[in-house]
Amino acid sequence: MTNFESKDLRGSTFREVDLRDSRFREVWFGNVVMRGVALIDVDIDGEIDNVRINGVDVVPLVEAQLDRLMPDRVKMRPTDADGFRRAWDIVEQLWAGTVHRARTFTSDQLNESVDGEWSFIQTLRHLAFATDCWVNRVLLGDPLPFHPLDQPFDGADPHPDVSLDIEARPSLDEVLELRADRMATVRRLLDELTDDRLAEPVEGPSWPPGDSYPVKEALLTVLNEEWQHRLYAERDLDVIERRSQT
């Protein structure tokens, strides 16, 4: 068993290699070619684009199936201000249900990691961080909006002016208080949003580099974070629930 961490393996060739039971996290597979592979019992979760399997681009098939299984998913790609407000209504409703479910779990379970993923508490902390990055910092111009409980993405470079308590173990109520504040900020911004505002460029820092973003792009990023991480949270709560029943 060999562990590769923070290694640059670009241009490598793997031939007659056994990768069964391997785990890949935060791995970039751009321009990868696989020939004669046996891809069996594989679970892939991430951003996929232009992925051909046996000559067929499977991305449109996957996207269409996901939209069919989750009709609200389509609404996470709004094109106007009213659409963003409706999308946020859905986000609030879905997360309210997930939080209600989470309250039936113990503190230890809410801090439990499933297969190396963030715990439920860490997921909520990361969403506070995402809001601070894309709404408070980029769209509202606060240079240092971060809360000590914010959870940055894995591999984020430390910021010299930001002090985050990554090892903290806050209670669910503590994190929900922070979360409620950040969600209310998004709601206020969306209440004032106009169609013209969506196309405006925003010169603002994200994490870590500064760049220029259309307002729409920043808000779509927030919606995507909210949608995807709730799915991950529900998935992992399912696993924890099954474990507790055995």
Q: What is the pLDDT of residues 66-83, one digit of tens each?
A: 999 999 999 999 999 999
Residue 33 domain-assigned? no
φ, ψ at 239 (rounded to 5°)? -65, -45
The answer to whether the peptide bond before residue 208 is cis (omega within 30 degrees of 0) is: yes
The mean of the pLDDT values for the chain is 92
Q: What is the CATH number of the domain that holds 125?
A: 1.20.120.450
The torsion region of residue 41 among left (phi > 0), alpha (psi -120 to 50) and beta comes to left
Given a cut of 80, whether residue 108 has pLDDT beyond it is yes
For residue 44, being part of any structural domain is answered with: no
Q: Quick one: average pLDDT of 160-168?
A: 80
223 or 246, which is more confident? 223
Domain assignment of residue 1, yes or no? no
Q: How many residues does the chain have?
A: 246
Q: What's the CA gap between 221 and 74, in Å, rounded?
A: 14
Count the neighbouring beta carbons within 10 Å of the beta carbon of residue 235.
13
The answer to whether residue 233 sits within a structural domain is yes
Which pLDDT value is given to residue 183?
98
- The model carries a pTM of 0.88
Residue that has been written with the tokens 């992992």 in this structure: 236
The pLDDT of residue 159 is: 72
Could you tell me if residue 123 is inside a domain? yes
What's the alpha-carbon Rg for the chain, to the nearest Å?
20
Q: What percent of the chain has pLDDT over 70?
A: 96
Token pair of 121 as six digits:
């508490």
Separation of alpha carbons 185 and 94, rounded Å:
18
Asked whether residue 215 is assigned to any structural domain, the reply reads: yes
Quick check: is 147 in a domain?
yes
Contact 225, 238 (CB under 8 A): no
Question: Is residue 27 in some structural domain?
Answer: no
Residue 195 phi, psi dihedral angles, 5° rounding: -60, -40
Residue 204 clears pLDDT 80, i.e. is over it: no
Indicate the number of domains in the chain.
1
- On the question of pLDDT at 135 being above 60, the answer is yes
Q: Which residue segment(s) compose the domain that 237 sits in?
A: 72-244
Q: pLDDT by residue (tens digit) across 18-68? A: 888 888 888 888 899 989 998 899 988 888 999 999 999 999 999 999 999
Q: Give the separation between CA 24 and CA 26, rounded to whole angstroms.
A: 7
* 198 touches 96 (CB < 8 A): no
How is residue 187 written in tokens?
A: 């709601």
